[in-house]
Amino acid sequence: MKTKSRNLYLIPYVIWILLFVVTPILLVVYYSFFDIEGQFTLANYKKFFTPVYLKMTFSSFWYAFLITLFSLIIAYPTAYLLTKTKHKHLWLLLIILPSWINLLLKAYAFIGIFGTYGAANSFLEVIGIGSKQLLFTDFSFIFVSVYIFLPFMILPIFNALDELNPSLIDASNDLGASPWTTFTRVIFPLTIDGVKSGCQVVFIPALSLFMLTRLIAGNRVITLGTAIEQHFLVTQDWGMGATIAVFLIIAMVLIMVLTGRRKRGIL
């Protein structure tokens, strides 16, 4: 009886997955086998392995790696400090709040900040450096991307650190371990699942960024997400756009598999 009830509860979940996950993926795969004229072809897959698209793929992974790396470097010490503060959940909420703001609004806000007459250039002039081209650069693209994804990196790391047993750190200190040894041998290994989750949540969407590449990078940064948007909305070559999306889906699944393994045997 309990098994039947459990199966009934699973029906809405299964229907949701089929309609909004499986079906869209199958449609993308289906469209990838057609050219712009609607004829069946394998040329799209052959075209993807040309230097242009391979360079675009490398660029996407490179920028996604940089965004994830800088997010991790900032997020880990931030999350650690949050666990030591008195009102840690309140501070965490304040960090998460900006993620509730629409991405387009945040992008336009940074256009104003990094613009020729924006706050960043005004500050540079005050300290004597002078006005610089900040907008439409790799720096501005990575900076804004890190700002947007940072809360998603902090949250899982904070949860992992908050659940860490303090007695393990005390034991390490009592045994004479240095702070660095305690971190590398105790704290970091025990919070690696939070780091993996954070990297997964940041790296995967960073691979397919397209709005920021236009508004912040000024199309100086070309990613797979930009190419997909171009093929679907501009050239109307849905087949090539779907082909790029297929490889992007495969890459995302591989990343989830590689980073989804949990360590066992940890107290």
pLDDT at 261: 58
Mean pLDDT score of the chain: 90
pLDDT of residue 36 exceeding 80, the answer is yes
The token pair that represents 258 in the structure block: 């590689």
pLDDT of residue 267 exceeding 70, the answer is no
Tens of pLDDT, residue by residue over 188-235, are: 999 999 999 999 999 999 998 888 988 898 878 888 989 998 999 888
Tens of pLDDT, residue by residue over 51-75, are: 999 999 999 999 999 999 999 999 9
Decide which of 128 and 154 is more confident: 154
pLDDT at 60: 93
Q: Report residue 264's pLDDT band, with 50, 70 and 90 as the boundaries.
A: very low
pLDDT at 133: 87
Closest by CA to 203, choosing from 106, 61, 82, is 61
pTM, two decimals, is 0.89
Percent of the chain's residues with pLDDT above 70: 96
The token pair that represents 3 in the structure block: 């098994």
pLDDT of residue 7 exceeding 80, the answer is no
Query: Mean pLDDT, to the nearest integer, of 25-51?
Result: 94
Superfamily holding 51-259 = MetI-like (1.10.3720.10)
Map residue 118 onto helix, strand or coil: coil
Which residue matches tokens 């052959």?
46
Q: How far apart are CA 197 and CA 157, in angstroms?
A: 8
Phi and psi at residue 40, to the nearest 5°: -65, 135
Report the run of H or E that residue 205 belongs to, with start and end: helix 192-207
pLDDT of residue 262 exceeding 80, the answer is no
pLDDT at 266: 42
Residue 233's Cβ-count burial label (10 Å; 0-12, 13-18, 19+) is exposed
Map residue 33 onto helix, strand or coil: coil
Percent of the chain's residues with pLDDT above 90: 64
Q: How far apart are CA 237 and CA 229, in angstroms?
A: 10
Tens of pLDDT, residue by residue over 84-110, are: 888 898 999 999 998 899 999 999 999
Reported for 86-92, long-range contacts at CB under 8 A and 24+ positions apart, including other chains, are 88/158, 88/162, 92/154, 92/155, 92/158
Helices 51-84, 88-96: inter-axial angle, 10-degree rounding: 150
pLDDT at 220: 81
DSSP 133: -
Contacts of 104 (CB under 8 A, 6+ apart): 211, 215
